[in-house]
């Protein structure tokens, strides 16, 4: 199993089927097919990076050609065939990178070469890695040979993107889907490797490596290699050190941020985020971990702490469980949507860090946080970590390609007449909003709405408009304040890259032009031109129909 390489991922590369972890059923199937002389014409291995696709291919090639037979497959003292296959210089076993040999001419050379029998071994084997990179013509050239190859020829394909391979090729292969390695199995494996390498690493650090590797053995060994190399003589790779090396931050910090977020403690939220950012965590990684916590809060009742899940420790699990019992699932889904949209925004803004800070502040303004009630519940023994949120229904549709969301300022004290204080005004259409501006004598807002607003969507509580550089800079802020004053709810006003409807002024202008053109085409106007050829239609007045 060991090689002379100093890189752990190569040093501990499996050499026989029994060394492969997490793929026992596939190993047994292929082992039996070769043992009973029923091996397939072509094998197709697919799965994520680092789960053993190329390793499987080499072991199959060795099993077909080993001098000692499959039952005594070389593991340490290699025969000449196994040694050559491992070093990728066997004359009858060709390992090809499809990314560098994509064309039909490369495949034709391969097929031409396949017409000659093996030189020194029992089988001639073609291993094509990342086979999905072959062109359509190259795949077509392979079809006939794949279906009816010579008895001495075997094809072994490996790919991470099975969907890019034509169905006609897949149907001619024995397909094996390699799954991610389970967390507990991978943990035991890298712990064993660390011990063999005389490396000192805590179980918590190894669990973090397992989590970051996402079921990939190669990734786990590479991370372990980096972690052990950072140790000085006699030093241990503990969780804190591992988090710094791998650019990972503790979930407890994020959970603490969530608690302050729901309390409405803006200063504390920004302080925690800046601490996380200063530790080296990229904004996009932070937002993805933010989504993960939202997922845990929503589905904590279905999550179990067992050997297959290293995402949460016991303390984090308890904290999230407390939050989940108080927070409305609707609020979580709203937060989820805005987080996804902010991830898209990171590619637009020049400073992603500032974008995330504004995102956190914006979340707090989506709802009214009742701090007083939250503080009251903190004083009770059984509900010390409770979070109280003042419910407010906001109808939000998914906004695609959103540039930014503008929400209202805190502590707005609208001037509302006494008879309107206890009633909520409903605005169900854009036209109703314009009429309300006329009624309230908000001439400036009316002008902007009619002239520079290109509407994308309008629902009660939310307006999405196309970006227009002619729009007044203070328009969104002023409209937000007025809508809050009139309706007693906070409206979400979004600027979108979508092309909205034409403005009301443009619509009126287009309507008048159409009426004007129709009038010029009328028989009455034609008769006037017959009498007065130099006449020109300058103005048109539409007379209302008089009652009889």
Tell me if 254 sits within 8 A of 262, measured CB to CB.
Answer: no
**Three-state DSSP class for residue 510:** helix
How many CB atoms are closer than 10 A to CB 244?
13
- Give residue-wise pLDDT tens across range 375-407: 444 444 344 343 333 333 333 333 334 333 444
CA distances, 27 to each of 96, 105, 210 (Å): 23, 34, 23
Tell me if 110 sits within 8 A of 125, measured CB to CB.
Answer: no
Residue 191 confidence (pLDDT): 92
259 and 239 fall within a common domain: no
- In 130-270 the beta strands, taken as DSSP E runs, fall at 153-159, 174-177
483 and 448 fall within a common domain: yes
pLDDT value at 343 more than 60: yes
Residue 219 confidence (pLDDT): 92
239 and 280 fall within a common domain: no
The band of 311, judged by pLDDT with boundaries at 50, 70 and 90, is: low
275 and 221 fall within a common domain: no
In a domain, 93, yes or no: yes
**Strand order through the sheet with 402-406:** 402-406, 492-496, 462-466, 455-459
pLDDT value at 278 more than 50: yes
- Give residue-wise pLDDT tens across range 525-544: 777 777 777 777 776 666 65
158 and 191 fall within a common domain: no
In a domain, 168, yes or no: yes
The band of 313, judged by pLDDT with boundaries at 50, 70 and 90, is: low
33 and 69 fall within a common domain: yes
If you average pLDDT over every residue of the chain, what do you get?
Answer: 79
φ, ψ (nearest 5 deg) of residue 158: -135, 135
What CATH number corresponds to the domain at position 170? 3.40.50.300
321 and 413 fall within a common domain: no
Residue 390 confidence (pLDDT): 35
- Give residue-wise pLDDT tens across range 466-477: 877 777 878 888
427 and 513 fall within a common domain: no
How many CB atoms are closer than 10 A to CB 129?
20
Residue 542 confidence (pLDDT): 63
- Stronger pLDDT, 466 or 311, i.e. the higher one: 466
Joined tokens for residue 109: 């050379």
pLDDT value at 197 more than 60: yes
Joined tokens for residue 2: 């060991």
Tell me if 141 sits within 8 A of 108, measured CB to CB.
Answer: yes
Rounded to an integer, the average pLDDT of 166-191 is: 92
In a domain, 396, yes or no: no
Q: Go through 274-311 and write b for each residue having 16 or more CB atoms within 10 A of its CB, e for each that does not.
A: eebbeeebebeebbebbeebbebbbebeeeeeeeeebb
The band of 164, judged by pLDDT with boundaries at 50, 70 and 90, is: very high
The band of 75, judged by pLDDT with boundaries at 50, 70 and 90, is: confident
158 and 217 fall within a common domain: no
Residue 157 confidence (pLDDT): 94
In a domain, 390, yes or no: no
Distance from C-alpha of 375 to C-alpha of 179, rounded to nearest angstrom: 48
Distance from C-alpha of 280 to C-alpha of 384, rounded to nearest angstrom: 32
* Least trusted range by pLDDT, from 34-38, 54-58, 282-286, 416-420: 416-420
CA distances, 400 to each of 114, 290, 466 (Å): 52, 20, 12
Distance from C-alpha of 471 to C-alpha of 449, rounded to nearest angstrom: 9
Tell me if 335 sits within 8 A of 328, measured CB to CB.
Answer: no
* Residue carrying structure tokens 């050239």: 141
- Stronger pLDDT, 160 or 529, i.e. the higher one: 160
119 and 228 fall within a common domain: no
What CATH number corresponds to the domain at position 341? 1.20.272.10
Rounded to an integer, the average pLDDT of 68-72 is: 87
Residue 34 confidence (pLDDT): 92
Residue 540 confidence (pLDDT): 67
Residue 512 confidence (pLDDT): 74
485 and 531 fall within a common domain: no
pLDDT value at 45 more than 90: yes
Most trustworthy range by pLDDT among 255-269, 413-427, 511-525: 255-269
pLDDT value at 250 more than 80: no
Joined tokens for residue 301: 């009742």
In a domain, 395, yes or no: no
Domain that includes residue 520, residue range: 506-548
Choose one of 126, 148, 177: the last residue of a domain: 177
What CATH number corresponds to the domain at position 190? 1.10.8.60
Residue 477 confidence (pLDDT): 83
pLDDT value at 9 more than 60: yes
- Stronger pLDDT, 407 or 72, i.e. the higher one: 72
Pairing of strands 492-496, 402-406: antiparallel
Work out the percent of the chain whose per-residue pLDDT is above 70.
83
- Give residue-wise pLDDT tens across range 82-140: 988 988 889 899 888 888 878 888 888 888 888 888 888 899 999 999 999 998 888 99
In a domain, 383, yes or no: no
In a domain, 501, yes or no: no
Rounded to an integer, the average pLDDT of 420-425 is: 52
pLDDT value at 159 more than 70: yes
Residue 240 confidence (pLDDT): 82
- Give residue-wise pLDDT tens across range 425-480: 788 888 888 888 888 888 888 888 888 888 888 887 888 888 777 778 788 888 88
48 and 153 fall within a common domain: yes
The band of 545, judged by pLDDT with boundaries at 50, 70 and 90, is: low
**Three-state DSSP class for residue 211:** helix
Joined tokens for residue 185: 């199995």
Q: Residues with Cβ < 8 Å from 276, sequence gap 6 or more? A: 249, 253, 254, 257, 286
Indicate the number of domains in the chain.
5
Choose one of 224, 246, 268: the last residue of a domain: 246
* DSSP for 308-356, written as a single string: T--S--HHHHHHHHHHHTTS-HHHHHHHHHHHHHHHHHTTTSS-HHHHH
Tell me if 135 sits within 8 A of 5, measured CB to CB.
Answer: no
Rounded to an integer, the average pLDDT of 260-288 is: 85
In a domain, 384, yes or no: no
> Which contacts (CB < 8 Å, 24+ apart) does range 509-512 have?
512/540
């Amino acid at each position: 199993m060991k090689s002379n390489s100093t890189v752990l991922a190569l040093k501990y590369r499996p050499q026989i089927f029994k060394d492969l972890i997490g793929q026992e059923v596939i190993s047994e199937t292929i082992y039996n097919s070769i043992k009973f002389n029923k091996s397939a014409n072509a094998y197709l291995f697919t799965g994520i990076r680092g789960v053993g696709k190329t390793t499987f291919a080499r072991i199959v090639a060795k099993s077909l050609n080993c001098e000692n037979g499959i039952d005594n497959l070389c593991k340490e003292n290699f025969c000449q065939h196994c040694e050559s296959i491992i070093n990728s210089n066997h004359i009858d076993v060709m390992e090809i990178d499809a990314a560098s040999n994509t064309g039909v001419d490369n495949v034709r050379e391969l097929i031409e070469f396949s017409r000659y029998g093996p030189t020194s071994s029992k089988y001639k084997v073609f291993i094509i890695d990342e086979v999905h990179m072959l062109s359509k013509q190259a795949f077509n050239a392979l079809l006939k040979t794949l279906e009816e190859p010579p008895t001495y020829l075997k094809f072994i394909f490996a790919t991470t993107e099975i969907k890019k391979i034509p169905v006609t090729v897949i149907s001619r292969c024995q397909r094996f889907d390699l799954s991610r390695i389970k967390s507990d199995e991978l943990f035991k494996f890298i712990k064993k490797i660390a011990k063999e390498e005389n490396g000192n690493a805590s179980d918590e650090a190894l669990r973090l490596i397992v989590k970051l590797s996402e079921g990939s053995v190669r990734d786990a060994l590479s991370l372990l290699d980096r972690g052990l190399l950072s140790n000085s003589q006699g030093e241990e790779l503990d969780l804190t050190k591992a988090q710094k090396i791998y650019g990972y931050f503790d979930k407890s910090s994020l959970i603490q941020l969530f608690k302050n977020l729901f309390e409405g403690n803006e200063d504390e939220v920004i302080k925690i985020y800046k601490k996380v950012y200063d530790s080296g965590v990229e904004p996009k990684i932070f937002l993805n971990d933010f989504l993960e916590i939202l997922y845990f809060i929503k589905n904590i009742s279905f999550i179990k702490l067992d050997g297959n899940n290293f995402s949460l420790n016991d303390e984090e699990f308890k904290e999230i469980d407390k939050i989940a019992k108080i927070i409305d699932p609707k609020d979580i889904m709203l937060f989820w949507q805005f987080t996804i949209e902010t991830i898209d925004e990171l590619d637009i803004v020049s400073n992603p860090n500032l974008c995330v800070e504004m995102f956190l502040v914006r979340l707090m303004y989506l709802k009214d946080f009742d701090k007083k009630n939250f503080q009251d519940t903190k004083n009770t023994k059984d509900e010390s970590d409770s979070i109280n949120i003042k419910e407010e229904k906001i109808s939000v549709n998914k906004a695609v390609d959103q540039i930014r969301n503008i929400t209202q300022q805190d502590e707005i004290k609208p001037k509302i007449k006494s008879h309107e204080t206890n009633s909520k005004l409903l605005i169900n259409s854009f036209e109703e909003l314009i009429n309300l501006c006329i009624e309230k004598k908000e001439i400036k807002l009316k002008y902007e709405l009619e002239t520079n607003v290109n509407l994308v969507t309008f629902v009660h509580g939310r307006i999405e408009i196309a970006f227009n550089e002619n729009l007044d800079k203070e328009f969104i802020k002023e409209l937000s304040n007025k809508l809050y004053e009139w309706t007693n709810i906070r409206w979400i006003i979004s600027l979108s890259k979508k092309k909205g409807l034409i403005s009301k002024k443009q619509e009126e202008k287009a309507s008048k032009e159409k009426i004007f053109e129709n009038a010029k085409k009328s028989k009455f106007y034609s008769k006037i031109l017959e009498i007065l050829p130099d006449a020109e239609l300058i103005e048109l007045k539409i007379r209302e129909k008089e009652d009889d």
